[in-house]
Amino acid sequence: MKCPVCGHESDGKFCENCGSPLTQNNTQENAESTNSFNSFGQNPTPEQPSSDYNTENQNYGQNYNDGYNQSQNQNGTSYGQQFTNSQNSYGGQQFTNVPNGNKNSSNKTAIIITSVVGGIIVLLAVIIAVVACNIVPNIVDTVDKDIYKAIDDVSNHISKDFNDKTTVPTYDPDSVTSDIDDDADDDTDDDLIDNNSHVTYQESYDYEGWDITGVDYDYYYTYIYDSSKVIKEVTINIPEKINGKDVVEISSFSLYIPNVKVKVVIPKTVKVVDSFAFSFNDNIYEIQIADGVKVLESDAFTSMPNLKSITVPESVKEMEDCGLGIDVNDDYDSVPIKGFKMYCKKGSAAEKYAKENKLSYEIMK
């Protein structure tokens, strides 16, 4: 081993010639052997002298190992970067530059953005709720006012039209008629009472003459229940004329007298029996229609279960669906009344009606 001072070849730890230690020389030889060539036949970076620098508060440190990893830390600056220099299996180098703190900054930014968006959504919801509370009641009030106004307009129109057409016949104290509603609260009383037949009537809207509207209940209740006799049957003769004017129409003849059989006679002056005039009446057991009556409207006699027979004159030209001999079951379906029989002329409208409704009938001579 050569002495680094005098150049003498010695085998020990100290130079035999000058006494200088041989350790430094041994280290230098090892370093030269290490830095000469690597396993790939490449000349690595020359050996750098080991020195300390204290310039601008900078520290440089180098760490070399078998994997050739180099770590450089720079103090006194704000770059915040890490460098890794490693030799891969192909003899090249890989560098990774990762800024410190970027991940934390991204998380904070995302939280801030989410908070701002959530606040905006809440603010919009509050604004919409306030606007809705102020606008919706106004809309409802406007709709209600329009509805009430429309109802009032229609009501006024109907009332005006009704009053124009309901002229009350002039009361004649010498006649047999009287006002049926003397104690009424209004001045539109238009039903009169015939003191002979005890039926109520008024001016017909569609024909020239009187329209029968019912019976005088006060009279019949007094006559039947205050009588000393037991009355089981009553005949009501609708007059041909009242106060010199023909009876031309029957619009209603509702009647309820418990435990009393009622017979009704319809005069020849009647032109039409209106729809539902006699319908759903259990008290009437017999109806006599005089020759001269023209029209029996639909459902005029529907559901009269105790009316078992009737004579329809040849003068009746229209009676389709008039309801004679027809009842209504619980499902509101039309069914023939058991035991009902119609008397009519051959070829008449009554015969046709009986055939169409499969009713029992008998042809009169």
Domain that holds residue 266: 177-363
Which of 50, 81, 99 is the endpoint of a domain? 99
Same structural domain for residues 302 and 159?
A: no
pLDDT in tens, the chain (365 residues): 677 778 777 777 777 777 777 754 444 444 444 444 444 444 444 444 444 434 443 444 443 334 333 334 434 333 444 444 444 444 444 444 444 445 556 777 888 888 888 889 998 998 998 887 777 666 666 666 667 666 666 666 555 444 444 444 444 444 444 444 444 444 335 689 999 999 999 999 999 999 999 999 888 888 887 777 888 899 999 999 999 999 999 999 988 888 889 999 999 999 999 999 999 999 999 999 999 999 999 999 999 999 999 999 999 999 999 999 999 988 888 999 999 999 999 999 999 999 999 999 999 98
* CB of 308 closer than 8 Å to CB of 330: no
Q: Which of 99, 117, 140 is the last residue of a domain?
A: 99
Is 19 part of a structural domain of the chain? no
Q: Quick one: 59 and 193 in the same domain?
A: no
183 with 159, same domain: the answer is no
Residue 138 belongs to a domain: yes
Residue 244 region by backbone torsions, left for phi larger than 0, else alpha for psi between -120 and 50, else beta: left
Counting the structural domains of the chain, the total is: 3
- Are 303 and 284 within one domain? yes
Which of 111, 131, 165 is a domain's end point? 165
In this structure, is residue 184 part of a structural domain? Answer: yes
Residue by residue, DSSP assigns 179-218 as ES-TT-SSS----EEETTT-EEEEE-SSSSSEEEEEE-HH
Q: Are residues 93 and 119 in the same domain?
A: no
Q: Which residue blocks in the chain are alpha helix, DSSP H? A: 23-36, 102-165, 217-225, 349-356
Q: Tell whether 218 is covered by a domain.
A: yes
